[in-house]
Amino acid sequence: MQVLAQVIFGVIFLIANYFMVKNILRIRKTILLGKDVSIEASSQRWKNVILIAFGQKKMFKKPLPALLHLFVYLGFLIVNLEMIEIIVDGFFGTHRVLFPLLGSLYSFCINTFEFFAAAVIVACLVFLIRRNLIKVPRFSGVEMTSKPIVDANLILVVEILLMVAFLSMNACDYLLQQAGHEHYTSVGRFFISSSLSPLFAGLSSEALVFIERFCWWFHIIGVLAFANYVFMESKHLHIFLAFVNTYFARTEPAGKLQSMESVTREVKLMLNIPVETTETTTEPGRFGAKEVNDLSWKNILDAFSCTECGRCTQQCPANLTGKKLSPRKIMMDTRRRAQDMMKGIESQGKEFSDGKSLLGDYISEGEIMACTTCNACVEACPVLINPVDIIVQLRQYKVMEESQAPASWNMMFSNVENNFAPWKFSPSDRFNWVQKLD
């Protein structure tokens, strides 16, 4: 029976990891639909990873949710260290294999795991209440359809069940140790699970073994299923991509706009400014972006790293004044379009075309034109996502490719071209105001 359990465990573990690796490679291919950009390494990037991804520095602008999120985050990282022992026990049919190696340190580790497991349960319950009973405003919006709402609630419920299974497993294990049941080595008392043991005290040894084994299997299969779900469609992909995204985030000032190399070259030539011979002489490509593959891979990485927390939309002045723009929707639509394109490419090949595009079918002109490029959304994002960069590229396409700028913009463009200033007067008149000074 034990050998059969080991075989079943090995098959489940290998199948789960096969699909997880397959999903990870698929996400990588989807992100690489974007144009290549070179990003230089720097110490600031590692600083961002440590302070913002690991330390969650920007989350603490809202202390209560930040503290609860920290418990969930640390619980996810720390409690799952127990998975090392579970995996070894599963393959070799052992029980608490690390106890002889760690000795008294083992009890400290499990007690730490249990503390964070309990903290995760409390935090997830509070998050469920905030989402479904209190209904925090930033969790709503036109982009928050039933799918992202169900996704968020599902993950919270699963995390609670996994932690309950972990504590119940240890509680039954403790009672079986006390009873001297074979296979259950005495490893000592764990504070939280032993406090729960009275809930199971009246059960027979057979029932305790069944519950302990059920919770053990539920925990390992639940974690493997959770990992696969996250790498398919869930917003909780940010658990892993937050570290990557903060490393590759812009280190220059957020308000600095990126010049298009092809335009810069043409302007230099027009003004008789020497052009470096290393610069490309090929015909310029599309100005701005209309489709996902016009964006950079970093833009698509931003979209996949989005936590859907709504802090960006909550801080957006355009959204606050009733405009259509929601930076969260921009990121969610970009991710959705990238996923749709990858599905099409997988089924129809590289020449896939469904007659749709990111700009127009997913993101409207009204949304991108409402942006003031103030970067409030960039400042608010806890993982350094940059919706403004995508918005600006989409707007560049509308203005430079389709010549569809608002009338007030066209007037400003004309004034800049003719008068070298946004205002309608000649350069010679620009300092007439000084004549009124004393």
CA separation for the pair 139, 158 (Å, rounded): 20
Whether 8 has a pLDDT exceeding 90, the answer reads yes
> Phi and psi (nearest 5°) for 35?
-70, 150
- Stretch among 26-30, 146-150, 349-353, 429-433 having the lowest mean pLDDT: 429-433
pLDDT digits (tens, 9 = 90+) for 173-201: 999 988 888 888 788 788 999 899 999 98
Same domain, 270 and 401: yes
Q: Where among 231, 247, 263 does a domain terminate? A: 247
Which of 23-32, 55-64, 333-342 is least confident? 55-64
Query: How many other C-beta atoms lie within 10 A of the C-beta of residue 429?
Result: 10
DSSP for 374-431, written as a single string = --HHHHH-TT---HHHHHHHHHHIIIIIS----HHHHHHHHHHHHHSSSSSS-GGGTT
238 shares a domain with 377: no
User: CA 299, CA 331: separation in Å to the nearest integer?
Assistant: 9
Q: What is the pLDDT of residue 93?
A: 87
- Domain interval for residue 395: 251-275+285-405
pLDDT for the residue 277: 61
Q: Is residue 69 a part of any domain in this protein? A: yes
Inside any domain, residue 423: no
Instruction: Give the chain's domain count.
Output: 2
CA distances in angstroms from 33 to 240, 294, 377, 411, listed in the order given:
20, 9, 25, 36
Report the pLDDT value the prediction gives residue 283, as an integer from 0 to 100. 57
Domain shared by 198 and 290, yes or no? no
Statement to judge: residues 212 and 82 lie in one domain = yes
For the chain, give the mean pLDDT: 89
Residue 157 has pLDDT above 90, yes or no: yes
In a domain, residue 411? The reply is no
Let me know whether 76 and 175 are in one domain.
Answer: yes
- Taking only the tens place, the pLDDT of each residue in 204-260 is 999 999 999 999 999 999 999 999 998 887 888 988 999 999 999 999 888 888 877
Residues 227 and 291 placed together within one structural domain of the fold: no
Which domain CATH number covers 341? 1.10.1060
Residue 45 maps to a domain = no
Query: Residue range 132-149: average pLDDT?
Result: 92
- State the pTM of this model: 0.88
How much is the pLDDT for 80?
Answer: 79
Quote the CA–CA distance of 316 and 328 in Å, as a whole number.
Answer: 10
Asked if 218 and 100 sit in the same domain, the reply is yes
pLDDT for position 332 = 96
Q: Note whether residue 39 is domain-resident.
A: no
In 3D, which of 384, 381, 340, 385 has the Cα closest to residue 358? Answer: 340
- 320 in any annotated domain: yes
Judge if 376 and 310 occupy the same domain. Answer: yes
Q: Is residue 228 part of a domain?
A: yes
Please state the φ and ψ torsions of residue 363, each to the nearest 5 degrees: -120, 130
Indicate whether 159 pLDDT > 90: yes
State the pLDDT at residue 425: 74
Same domain flag for 224 and 147: yes
Does residue 235 sit in the same domain as residue 293?
no
pLDDT digits 0-9 by tens, 13-23: 999 999 999 99
Residues 92 and 7 in one domain: yes
Give the residue-averaged pLDDT of 391-404.
91
CA 269 to CA 140: how far, in whole Å?
Answer: 50
- Among 70-74, 91-95, 369-373, which range has the highest average pLDDT? 369-373
401 and 383 fall within a common domain: yes
User: What is the end-to-end Cα distance of the chain in Å, rounded?
Assistant: 100
Domain presence at residue 322: yes
Q: For 89-109, what is the mean pLDDT?
A: 89
Above 60 in pLDDT, residue 282? no
Mean pLDDT score, 358-375: 94
